[in-house]
Amino acid sequence: MSEDTPVQSTPADENEGGSSNAMRALLIGTPIVLLLGFGFWFHSRNRVSTDDAQVDGHLVPVSSRVYGSVEKVLVEDNQAVKAGDPLVAIDPRDTQAKLDQTKATLAMAKAQVEGAKAELERARVAFQQARSSDLDSAKATLDSRKANLDKAASDLKRMKPLAEREEISAQQFDGVRTQAEVAEGDWRAAQQKLGSLQREADIRKVAVGAAEARLSAALAQVEQARAAQEALELQLGYTRILAPVDGVVTRRMVEMGQTIQPGQGLLTLIPLHQTWVTANFKETQLARMKPGQEVEIKIDMNGVELKGRVDSIAGSTGSRMSLLPPENAVGNFVKVVQRIPVKIRIDAAEANKVILRPGMNVEATVLLN
């Protein structure tokens, strides 16, 4: 045999080499796997995640507050608008005509108030005159007539015995008696005059009350007309429907020329700057969760990660608040792990990184502490 002939390896040698390589790989790989497993456990022991999470936001319905015909539709679907921007214009002519009529009614009511005020002033002046000068003069006249009557009666009483003894003539006694009768007539006439003036004063007092009532009625008509005018001015303002918030127009359901009713929905505004995340965590994941904990949010659309905070935890499970809640008082009960909605607020500094729209899917991870 030549010295250059190579020595061939035997199968036993190959088995020994493979076994040693496998042992070496096992010895090296096992610590690595254990280290990776420990690292994953350490990383996830204070984290709970769910992919059952969506972006939520306010849906602001815009409806009409008056009846009318649509004159213009000033926005389109998916158009961004600012608060106060005009959205829909309703034909204002009917409301404007009613407003003009109400303004005329208000002016007439104000004129009636001025007339009632003048009438009340005249009634008060007449009452004061009847109550003061005329009545006082009648009372003074009555007192004077009473004094004359008393004097005449006294003279008659003194002259009567003299006439009976014929110390005075019958003619003289008749004159004294006539004076007494005249004095009594004047006194009775003064009494009637005073009574008449008192009744007239009472009548004029009643007239003052009636004038005051007419003035109150006229003032009430003014207030009624003013209230009607303010209501129509509001309705006239409602013919221009403005955006209540900043947002994006969605589901526009109104067209030009359409006749709409009060309360009829026209479109929906979605304020994209006021969104949050609703994550449905399993009930077994909530033991250590509380408001204020940090949250990592991964957007399915583009993989962008945002930071947020747990805002609040719902008061019941999602299934309990569904249209048909489960009824467990039956014989075929199967226990199912329930999910509870958790509201997550996105940090203000993170919100500008991406525009989130309600309904988008995200993955939420809460960092427990």
Overall CATH class of domain 93-237: mainly alpha
Q: What is the pLDDT of residue 172?
A: 75
- Tokens 């921007």 locate to 85
User: Where residue 161 falls among pLDDT bands split at 50, 70, 90?
Assistant: confident
Q: What is the mean pLDDT of the chain?
A: 83
pLDDT over threshold 90, residue 96: yes
Distance of CA 109 to the CA centre of its chain: 31
Q: What is the pLDDT of residue 135?
A: 63
Measured CA to CA, the distance from residue 115 to residue 365 in angstroms comes to 78
pLDDT over threshold 80, residue 186: no
Pairing relation of β-strands 265-270 and 240-242?
Answer: unpaired
User: Where residue 369 falls among pLDDT bands split at 50, 70, 90?
Assistant: confident
Measured CA to CA, the distance from residue 158 to residue 173 in angstroms comes to 10
What is each CA distance from 58 to 154, 188, 270, 307, in whole angstroms?
Answer: 105, 92, 6, 21
DSSP helix/strand/coil, 267: strand
Handedness of CA 175, 177, 178, 180 (dihedral sign): positive
pLDDT over threshold 70, residue 133: no
Measured CA to CA, the distance from residue 236 to residue 102 in angstroms comes to 13
Nearest to 287 by CA among 246, 235, 248, 340: 340
Name the burial class of residue 68, with classes exposed (0-12), middle (13-18) and buried (19+) by CB atoms within 10 angstroms of its CB: buried
Nearest to 277 by CA among 80, 82, 49, 71: 49
Contacts of 240 (CB under 8 A, 6+ apart): 86, 89, 90
Overall CATH class of domain 60-91+240-270: mainly beta
The answer to whether 357 and 274 are in contact (CB under 8 A) is: no
Distance of CA 167 to the CA centre of its chain: 103
Dihedral (Cα; 126, 128, 131, 134), 10-degree rounding: -60
Q: What value does the CA radius of gyration of the chain take, rounded to a whole number of Å? A: 53
Tens digits of residue pLDDT in 15-36 = 555 567 767 776 777 777 666 6
DSSP helix/strand/coil, 88: strand
Measured CA to CA, the distance from residue 361 to residue 300 in angstroms comes to 6
Measured CA to CA, the distance from residue 94 to residue 236 in angstroms comes to 9
pLDDT over threshold 90, residue 66: yes
Measured CA to CA, the distance from residue 236 to residue 89 in angstroms comes to 11
CATH architecture of 48-57+273-367: Beta Barrel (2.40)
Q: What is the mean pLDDT of residues 166-176?
A: 72
Measured CA to CA, the distance from residue 259 to residue 268 in angstroms comes to 19
Q: What is the pLDDT of residue 322?
A: 77
Domain ranges (residues) in the chain: 48-57+273-367, 60-91+240-270, 93-237
Looking at per-residue pLDDT, the higher value among 176 and 236 belongs to 236
Measured CA to CA, the distance from residue 89 to residue 242 in angstroms comes to 9
Residue type, 7: V
Measured CA to CA, the distance from residue 52 to residue 259 in angstroms comes to 43
Q: What is the pLDDT of residue 243?
A: 96
Measured CA to CA, the distance from residue 324 to residue 314 in angstroms comes to 18
Q: What is the pLDDT of residue 2?
A: 45
